[in-house]
């Protein structure tokens, strides 16, 4: 049985297996926590934005304490292996992008994982600081009852159809 560092084992347990994406998110999160001089978020004090819905996002969630439910894990569907990390009250955001050439064309998963583990941070990722405030805190909206299905939907996701409030699902048909 393979032995992992305790924090990586938590990621593997959450995600279900070890894979290159998990290792990429794990490594990016370690850099973020170190560079921002912080620890995993207990509330919304740290914000992570992921540009990919790959396995790496699970690692970011476990390692940073940022979650969709708390509103401090944000997904921007840009299809890039890029992560943004911000601390509330600070005017800078840390951007961490996987270097396009870092992993080469390894088809063998074992070689790829070893490469991700062994590469120095600056060869695996390009990091930069952006002058950008963290996204605003998550808002709690009133729930509106859909006049078609009867289910509740948050106010900004409700539309007016034939003069009645409807959820997006019913509005789209």
pLDDT for residue 143 = 96
- Class level of CATH domain 139-173: alpha beta
**The CATH number of 6-131 is which of 1.10.630.10, 3.40.50.1450, 3.30.1330.130, 3.10.450.50?**
3.30.1330.130
- Do residues 27 and 115 lie in contact, with contact meaning Cβ atoms separated by under 8 Å? no
pLDDT for residue 109 = 82
How do the domains of the chain map onto residue ranges?
Answer: 6-131, 139-173
Using CA atoms, how far apart are residues 151 and 148, in angstroms rounded to an integer?
Answer: 8
Q: What is the pLDDT along the chain (173 residues), one digit of tens a residue?
A: 577 899 999 999 999 999 999 999 999 999 999 999 999 999 999 999 999 999 999 999 999 999 999 999 999 999 999 999 999 988 899 999 999 989 877 667 888 899 899 999 999 999 999 998 777 777 889 999 999 999 999 999 999 999 999 999 999 87
Using CA atoms, how far apart are residues 65 and 85, in angstroms rounded to an integer?
Answer: 12
User: Quick one: which of 129, 99, 128 has its CA closest to 115?
Assistant: 99
Q: Is 64 left (phi over 0), alpha (psi -120 to 50) or beta?
A: alpha
* Equal CATH topology for 6-131 and 139-173: no
pLDDT for residue 106 = 66
pLDDT for residue 139 = 81
* Tokens standing for residue 50: 């992921």
pLDDT for residue 107 = 66
* Tokens standing for residue 14: 């959450």
């Amino acid at each position: 049985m393979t032995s992992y560092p305790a924090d990586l084992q938590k990621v593997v347990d959450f995600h279900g297996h070890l894979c290159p994406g998990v290792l990429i998110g794990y490594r990016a999160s370690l850099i973020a926590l170190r560079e921002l001089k912080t620890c995993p978020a207990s509330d919304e004090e740290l914000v992570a934005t992921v540009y990919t819905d790959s396995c790496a996002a699970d690692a970011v969630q476990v390692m940073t304490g940022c979650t969709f439910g708390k509103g401090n894990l944000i997904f921007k569907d840009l299809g890039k292996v890029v992560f943004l990390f911000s601390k509330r009250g600070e005017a800078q955001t840390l951007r961490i992008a996987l270097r396009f050439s870092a992993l080469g064309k390894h088809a063998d998963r074992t070689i790829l994982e070893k490469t991700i583990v062994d590469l120095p941070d600056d060869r695996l990722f390009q990091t930069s600081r952006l002058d950008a405030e963290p996204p605003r805190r998550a808002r709690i909206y009133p729930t509106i009852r859909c006049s078609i299905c009867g289910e509740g939907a948050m106010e900004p996701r409700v539309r007016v159809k034939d003069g009645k409030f409807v959820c997006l699902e019913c509005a789209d048909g």
